[in-house]
């Protein structure tokens, strides 16, 4: 059992940490206040190869392992938590396209994602169907040599700035087997967007998208008709562990800052770290962070080695965002009145990670997956 990165990966990790600190962190809070995705952010991420991590080299990507993608999300989150969405969404979408699209489709679509020329989105959630995604109502109806997509998708990450999207729409009967996947152009007169005014992660432009008979050619169908839902859901086991590491990265940098504050700040003539009421909570959370990190990396290692990993991914998804919010909250309290100021990034990190207690699957769904895998479907909810 090896708990270390090799020299090459460790050097890349250190390079990403410097990038996150020097290039990303200075814009983190300003981007939140502006509530929009900076084009410069996409370009900066692309220059570091972060928009094409899971894309094959033949299509301009890095062909990185799942473990390296998770490590990249963790390091980037230390400087700008919201920049990790360009890793998470790009990796999820490109992973699905690499597994299910034809070679011709991949050659046409993946290079622009890898280069940052195209910002992708993933459209599955609907106003009446979040967790129960297989019941989606958006329709793709036959029209000549293609389809027309009609319906509404909501809570779409990067929805206000994405150029293309992987859209799930119903082409057949009820249930998962009636759903197909399409690669569509969002900059179209048949698509309208409306932004949410969110508590956190405002820079990513979460949005509702309305499809008013959007024409889609047959060449935009990804995989076989009716196979879209199953092929897409397989990708979530991977992305959930990456999400977990992004949340833990934001929590870890907050903990590092709080530990330094406990050394620097004095009260009653001593550093506040000498008081158990300050140091013990930080020690406890350092322990929990290490445990959650191992769960996330185990899920990604299992994926890289072709081993079933849905249980570990579900553990990562429900535990890491919840733990991250708790850790950052404690760090804010450690800083006292300074942590409560909007000038500190700690409060924004807390608001941002809370969003991923909801997005990409709630804790309840993750626990359901875990329970069914542990007990067997006949003995679980």
| Cα 22 versus chain centre, distance | 22
Question: Which tokens belong to 252?
Answer: 């870890």
> By percentage, how much of the chain surpasses pLDDT 70?
100
Question: Taking residues 66-94, what's their average pLDDT?
Answer: 97
Residue 136's φ and ψ, nearest 5 degrees, are: -55, 150
The whole-angstrom separation of Cα 161 and Cα 118 is: 10
CA distances from 134 to 20, 174, 295, 311 (A): 37, 8, 28, 20
CA distances from 380 to 318, 354, 363, 370 (A): 18, 28, 16, 9
Q: Which residues pair with 153 in a beta bridge?
A: 209
List the domains of the chain with CATH numbers.
7-118 (1.10.540.10), 121-226 (2.40.110.10), 229-379 (1.20.140.10)
Spatial CA neighbour of 242 closest among 99, 356, 127, 138: 356
Give tens-digit pLDDT for 137-178: 999 999 999 999 999 999 999 999 999 999 999 999 998 889
In angstroms, how far apart are the furthest CA atoms of the chain? 80
pTM: 0.96
pLDDT of residue 229: 85
Spatial CA neighbour of 114 closest among 166, 164, 62, 165: 62
User: What confidence category does residue 2 fall into, taking pLDDT thresholds of 50, 70 and 90?
Assistant: confident
Q: For 25, which DSSP code?
A: G
């Amino acid at each position: 059992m090896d708990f270390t990165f090799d020299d090459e990966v460790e050097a890349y990790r250190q390079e990403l940490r410097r990038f996150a600190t020097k290039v990303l962190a200075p814009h983190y809070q300003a981007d939140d206040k502006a509530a929009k995705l900076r084009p410069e952010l996409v370009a900066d991420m692309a220059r570091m190869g972060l928009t094409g991590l899971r894309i094959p080299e033949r299509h301009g990507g890095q062909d990185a392992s799942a473990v390296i993608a998770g490590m990249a999300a963790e390091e980037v989150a230390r400087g700008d938590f919201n920049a990790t969405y360009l890793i998470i969404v790009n990796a999820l979408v490109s992973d699905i396209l690499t597994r299910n699209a034809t070679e011709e489709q991949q050659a046409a679509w993946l290079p622009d994602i890898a280069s940052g020329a195209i910002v992708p989105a993933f459209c599955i959630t609907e106003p009446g169907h979040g967790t129960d995604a297989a019941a989606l109502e958006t329709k793709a109806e036959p029209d000549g040599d293609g389809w027309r997509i009609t319906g509404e998708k909501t809570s779409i990450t990067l929805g206000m700035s994405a150029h293309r999207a992987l859209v799930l729409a119903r082409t057949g009967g009820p249930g998962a087997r009636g759903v197909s996947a399409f690669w569509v152009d969002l900059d179209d007169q048949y698509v309208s967007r409306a932004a949410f005014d969110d508590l956190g992660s405002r820079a990513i432009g979460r949005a509702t998208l309305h499809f008013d008979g959007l024409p889609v050619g047959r060449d935009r169908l990804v995989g076989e008709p009716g196979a879209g839902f199953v092929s897409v859901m397989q990708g979530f086991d991977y992305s959930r562990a990456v999400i977990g590491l992004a949340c833990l990265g934001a929590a870890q940098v907050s903990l590092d800052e709080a530990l330094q504050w406990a050394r620097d700040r004095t009260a009653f003539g001593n550093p506040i770290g000498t008081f158990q009421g300050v140091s013990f909570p930080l020690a406890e959370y350092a322990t929990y962070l290490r445990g959650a990190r191992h769960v996330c990396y185990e899920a990604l290692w299992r994926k890289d080695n072709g081993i079933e990993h849905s249980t570990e991914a579900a553990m990562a998804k429900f535990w890491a965002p919840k733990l991250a919010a708790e850790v950052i909250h404690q760090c804010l309290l450690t800083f006292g009145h300074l942590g409560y100021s909007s000038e500190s990034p700690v409060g924004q990190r807390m608001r941002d990670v809370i969003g991923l207690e909801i997005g990409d699957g709630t804790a309840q769904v993750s626990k359901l997956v875990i329970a069914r895998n542990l007990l067997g479907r006949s003995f679980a909810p």
